[in-house]
Amino acid sequence: MSTAETRQLFALTNDAGVLDRAATDLAAKYCGTYSPETVRALIDDSYRLLAPTSRITTYLPVLSVRFASERLAAIARHEGHLVTTAPEVLFVCVHNAGRSQMAAALLNHYARGEFTSAPPARPRPTRSTPPSSRA
């Protein structure tokens, strides 16, 4: 999807204002590390990546901003701009049953900031949830 197509999609869904405000906020957070243009480009890219597979678009702007924020933090840590003393934990669920997401949520709840968890990894992503994982 081109930038012009993305802007047109933003206009159709009225998401541009939300993304503009978020870009301003994230640019202030990463001032001196990343330019406002870089932050906005990453938010636009996150939106473009999530939009094609989004079935419910109500929360697409919020999820795009959250995704972009996580990506900026990961890039900043990788480049040495953001240093954290908390160990990072990566949970991997090889059966795509949602166990890694549950483990990450439990760690976040009980660790109270002593650990950080990376986004859960799924080595073989699928479009559906296995029957054994459904409640």
pLDDT single digits (tens) 8-37: 555 555 688 888 899 999 999 999 899 999
**Residue 74 neighbours by CB under 8 Å, 6+ apart:** none
| Same domain flag for 24 and 48 | yes
| Same domain flag for 63 and 97 | no
Which residue range forms the structural domain that includes residue 71? 3-79
| Same domain flag for 63 and 113 | no
100 vs 42, residue with greater confidence: 42
| Same domain flag for 73 and 94 | no
| Same domain flag for 53 and 113 | no
Distance CA 9, CA 19 (A): 12
Quick one: pLDDT at residue 72?
92
| Same domain flag for 70 and 113 | no
| Same domain flag for 100 and 75 | no
Question: The domain spanning residue 35 has which CATH number?
Answer: 1.10.8.1060
Number of domains present in the structure of the chain? 2
Angle between helices 16-29 and 60-79 (to 10 degrees): 20
pLDDT single digits (tens) 52-110: 888 888 888 999 999 999 899 889 988 888 877 777 787 777 776 777 778 888 888 88
